[in-house]
Amino acid sequence: MTDSVTPRSRSLSVAGVSRSFAGVQALTGVTLAVEPGMVLGLIGPNGAGKSTLVNIISGYDFPDEGSVLLNDEDITMAKPHIRARRGLARTFQHGHLFGGLTVRENIEVTALGTGKSARESVTTADELLDEYHLRDRENHPASSLPHGVERRAGVARALATSPDYVLLDEPAAGLNEGEIGEFANNIRHLRDRGLGVLLIDHNVRLILDVCDRIHVLVEGRTLLEGTPDEVRNSDELVEAYLGRSGSVQR
Ligand SMILES: Nc1ncnc2c1ncn2[C@@H]1O[C@H](COP(=O)(O)OP(=O)(O)O)[C@@H](O)[C@H]1O
Ligand SMILES: [Mg+2]
């Protein structure tokens, strides 16, 4: 039997992932999956374990227990660049652009790094600079960018590898209302092109607006997962996640 007739489940998933840091239990038995053409929101209060989970999925950290699967392949212990070549990309909560390079160079270098030719890398950069409204900044050093532009550049750079799955760690933090609206359209466009997107953000309106499903973490454990409607109407969520502070921003 050849590969082409072997049924393969296409998804990026974690199963039973636990991680502790010197006594702090950051994650306990977390299981979730992102499929192609799907936006999965990951929300939870600060310290819930969201970034730790992204680090584990992308190979910047490793679980004490549990596994990470990419299209049926166990990548739990694979290095980040191997995962990148398998179609996985991420952004970082705190920038991580190459500050001394221009916006264009950041995108091109990342494209080259996953094996694209020089010509392909230029084409990729041209497309992403347009899509993420970065044309007027393409020759500016990344270190000089205003916050909102830096966020968009971070997402554009992550996409330079033409991934199948992208993990976005608070990509909309600090964007203004107009920028968030545009960014929501960018996310829908990724989904429509068949990417699987894991989106972390504190902006509940953005999450409810663009996600197909939402996974809620509290203190490293899954509180619930459901559709935006299910999550919006969850008393559990309002009590446990938003606590005494009142109602969800709907
Ligand atoms: N490298 C680390 N060393 C020690 N503690 C860490 C480390 N990374 C995360 N933690 C702790 O793990 C918990 C989850 O953190 P994090 O994943 O950053 O949460 P979130 O992204 O949801 O705000 C927090 O208590 C945090 O202090
Ligand atoms: Mg975080």
Q: What is the pLDDT of residue 244?
A: 47
Q: What is the pLDDT of residue 2?
A: 47
User: What is the longest distance spanned by two Cα atoms in the chain?
Assistant: 58
Q: What's the pLDDT tens digit per position in 186-233?
A: 999 999 999 999 999 989 899 999 999 999 999 999 999 999 999 988
The response to whether residue 21 sits with its C-beta less than 6 Å from ligand 1 reads: yes
7-87+163-172+191-250, what's its fold? Rossmann fold (3.40.50)
The response to whether residue 44 sits with its C-beta less than 6 Å from ligand 1 reads: yes
Spell out the alpha helix ranges (H) of the chain: 50-58, 80-85, 103-113, 118-131, 147-159, 177-192, 204-210, 228-232, 235-240
Q: What is the pLDDT of residue 106?
A: 97
The pTM score is 0.90
Residue 40, pLDDT above cutoff 60: yes
Average pLDDT of the chain is 91
Ligand 1, residue 55: give the atom nearest the CA: 17
The response to whether residue 91 sits with its C-beta less than 6 Å from ligand 1 reads: no
Q: What is the pLDDT of residue 248?
A: 47
Closest residue (by CA) to atom 3 of ligand 1?
A: 21
237 touches 225 (CB < 8 A)? no
At 243, the pLDDT band (50, 70, 90 cuts) reads low
Q: Where are the domains of the chain?
A: 7-87+163-172+191-250, 94-162
